[in-house]
Structure 1
């Protein structure tokens, strides 16, 4: 492929990724309207949000391996189709249960499509420096999609009915399908690659149990549900690990985590997305419910994180070979911790905006090069596995932070704490989490490597 063809196809892949990322956060501003429209409880509202990243996280490892088997070009096309159909279902869902199911199907489409984006980038860009630049831009697209979701959701709710936040996906899917058929490289299946759907179901069971456990941890009156959630998480995790050890071609080989570069990248992806998504969700809710801003104004306010994250993410990938991982990742988490502290201590709207800008700048720095660490440190024959782990890391961060921050906020409100004080408490927790992830990634990248590894 010529340079123009490579970057043209990269734009198509980025379009699909942007859509996936938007759907992760587009409901943050739409949640109050969804709860009113469907007469949904706060718990149902959290499941409407979390059904998408939950299914996505549970299936990603399996779809990464399936992409190796049938070809990542085919997976990208199929994923687009499923995503478009599920968007139609979500747009016209008659009730909360149907909407949760449709959101789960959106997760299926995204899980089929998402690992293919990174695998196709790796196939398209053989030169390491050009590939690192592409992955850096890829990371900025993912960050921008997540951060712009509240703005897009708010803008749609200003003019259209609540289902429009899903219907917007349909024309994007149609355009991406046409461009993929026209520009994508040849499909390269590997029939010798095994695919194990049972492992994906075990992973989904573990993540479902963990999510429910976090949601119910603050509710001691539902002790039976709490115990059942813990049991599901432990059982699903144990079954998954045992099956991987018995498979000739597992979805996940745990020796891959012996690489500090790989493990550090995973921690960076989980932590960076957890801090960013948690701050977005909590801030958009607070701005609407306490400060009485419109969905569009609330979304535009948190969009300052995207404005800061996009250049940080792009430049991180482009200049990694000069500055190394340590200042970009460990330093980024330190900046995020300070940003969360500024939001808590600011006391004014200007202070909040400044803290959000610092959060966006810092998490953008973290997440672009975390992808390079994960993908670049994995052997070439495990590219699908590495892509799956990378995406699971991002979605796990979103999944856990939505469950955790939502539960902490509700627990504070149930104790009679004022909403603003409860919000500040959650932001302080996010700041503390950023500091912990910063310390962990400092240890992983303490030698300050400046490339993804010899296998890149």
Structure 2
């Protein structure tokens, strides 16, 4: 009897160990997939000046090359999460990976801005299929709350770290290869990930009786496209009022029809009851604002380091990577603390810390604050501010993920994951759209071109640099001084906007969470 009991205990212990190992291997697998998605969000920041010159893209096309990815992804994420509940999240992950690899090849060999924008849109379709599956698989696999929060902490850190390391990878590849390599590098990673997912991810669970509403996804995308177009039109010099009004009407119609359609559906893409939970709502707000700041800061800073300071893409990416140095450890720590402290101190404190870091980076930027007398040849002074901003963002985003997924019922895991990731994409989308457009507009309004300079130099600093190549040395130097001064005017204002938005976000989430019930004390998991 004793031998039989030992044998049974041994088998059960091995099963527990295997199950535990499988859980953590699953986390590694989906984290790699998420890293791939978020890297592609920011990898173009350092490559943008190079591909702009090679493809002849204008200022508007530059923003659409960046925005096509988060825009299409945000429009499809709600539908993708619900479709994953229907057909299985593992299957969605595999299909998304395959699409992502194919789209990467299309974007790598794009010969015109239009083809590149289309390739980025197709990349977003694959990413939208993958992204909800990553968090949903974690939600249904990690049943213990403390383990799940640690796993979500790792997941959230990968999301921000991938976004932060994108400029470094882009700069490194551009040091040795052409700009298309920033997309082509995805293909071998996708092939390895397909093998890993097939071997390591457990079997699928799905609910084939759940309907799927593709029309609702199109309505969301219509609303987003109209809103983004309106933002871009409003923030450019000399906006067309008719275009703004028409875009806002299209946006309002798309969102209104979506809400009405969801209220009539027995199985909606979005259950609005989720948004009434204060923890979930505060998590959505925090995730969106954290990504607003992250995307805007990285885009604007990498442009300044290359176009104003004159750094190579690699050096610019390495400096911006200081953000990831602060983000990764704080995200993991936040995941381990969330079950003890609840979301409020981590979300509110994280957003306020991120705001302080952005402001510090601005104050330490060479040449922007005269009384500091920092020599303009030493941009490394921005690193402390980026580290502080990364620490705050890691705390806020991990706590936001834990608040959303920890308070969503298991049968709404796919929907909750989609809602969270939509908030990420919307934050990134509007960070690039609002701040990128504001930067371009402020440049155009404040630049003072020397007499006789071609008007194309008014469009952007890229165009001013290109125009200066055909001018006499004295006139070229005068033009570049004026153009860089105008760019820095926009740089200062946009970083102040980021600081203000993150500070207001801290106040809003503090207010939301003050109305929430205090979290119940968690018990230690049984060994």
Common topology (TM > 0.5): yes
Q: Which residue of 2 aligns with 1:394?
A: 424
Q: Distance in 2 between matches of 1:111 and 1:231?
A: 26
**Corresponding residue for residue 351 of structure 2:** 333
CA contact (8 A) 1:412 1:422 kept: yes
Q: What corresponds to 1:406 in structure 2?
A: 436
Q: How far apart, CA to CA, are the structure 2 residues paired with 1:114 and 1:452?
A: 31
Would you say 1:230 and 2:248 are equivalent positions?
yes
For structure 2, the residue ranges without an aligned partner over 5 or more in a row are 1-17, 367-378, 448-485
Mean CA deviation greater in 8-17 or 148-157: 8-17
Q: Aligned partners of 1:353, 1:451: CA distance in 2, in Å?
A: 39
Provide the C-alpha distance between the structure 2 equivalents of 1:364 and 1:413, rounded to a whole number of angstroms. Answer: 32
1:11 to 2:28 alignment: yes
What residue is the counterpart of 1:97 in the other structure? 114
- 1:438 corresponds in structure 2 to 506
Q: Distance in 2 between matches of 1:279 and 1:317?
A: 24
> 8 Å contact 1:328–1:365 — kept in the other structure?
yes
Shift of residue 444, structure 1, vs aligned partner: 2.0
1:193-214, CA deviations, whole angstroms, 9 ceiling, x for partnerless residues?
A: 1110000000000111111111
1:198-277 maps to which residues of 2 (within 5 A)?
A: 198-219=215-236, 220-277=238-295
> Please, which of 336, 358, 381 is the counterpart of residue 318 of structure 1?
336
Say which structure, 1 or 2, has more relative contact order (CA 8 Å, 6+ apart): 1
1:352-381: per-residue Cα shift (whole Å, max 9, x none)? 222111111111110011011111111121
Counterparts of 2:101 and 2:522, CA distance in 1? 37
- Report how far residue 347 of structure 1 moved: 4.2
1:197 is matched with: 214
**Which residue pairs with 1:419 in the alignment?**
487
Q: 8 Å contact 1:206–1:236 — kept in the other structure?
A: yes
Q: Is the 8 A contact 1:376 1:452 kept in 2?
A: no
RMSD in angstroms over aligned alpha carbons? 1.6
**TM-score normalised to structure 2 length:** 0.84
Query: Which segment drifts farther, 211-220 or 51-60?
Result: 211-220
Structure 1 residue 452: deviation in Å? 11
Does structure 1 residue 369 correspond to structure 2 residue 399?
yes
Q: Which runs of 5 or more structure 1 residues have no equivalent in the other structure?
A: none
Partner of 1:125: 142
SS in 2 for 1:319: helix
Moved more, 220-229 or 181-190: 220-229
The residue number in structure 1 matching 2:473 is: none
> How many angstroms apart in 2 are the aligned matches of 1:211 and 1:221?
14
Bigger Rg, structure 1 or 2: 2
Counterpart residue number, 1:157:
174
Distance 1:448 1:316, change over 3 A: farther
Q: Answer yes or no: is the 8 Å Cα contact 2:443–2:489 preserved in 1.
A: no
The aligned residue for residue 140 of structure 1 is 157
Q: TM-score, normalised by structure 1?
A: 0.97
Quick one: distance in 2 between partners of 1:452 and 1:359? Answer: 30
Q: Are 1:48 and 2:78 an aligned pair? A: no
How far off is 1:119 after superposition?
0.7
SS at match of 1:254: coil
- In the TM superposition, 1:351-362 aligns within 5 A as 351-362=381-392
Q: Which moved more, 1:82-91 or 1:443-452?
A: 443-452
Q: Check the 8 A contact 1:325/1:449 in 2, yes or no.
A: no
Q: Secondary structure at the match of 2:235?
A: coil
Q: Which residue of 2 aligns with 1:75?
A: 92
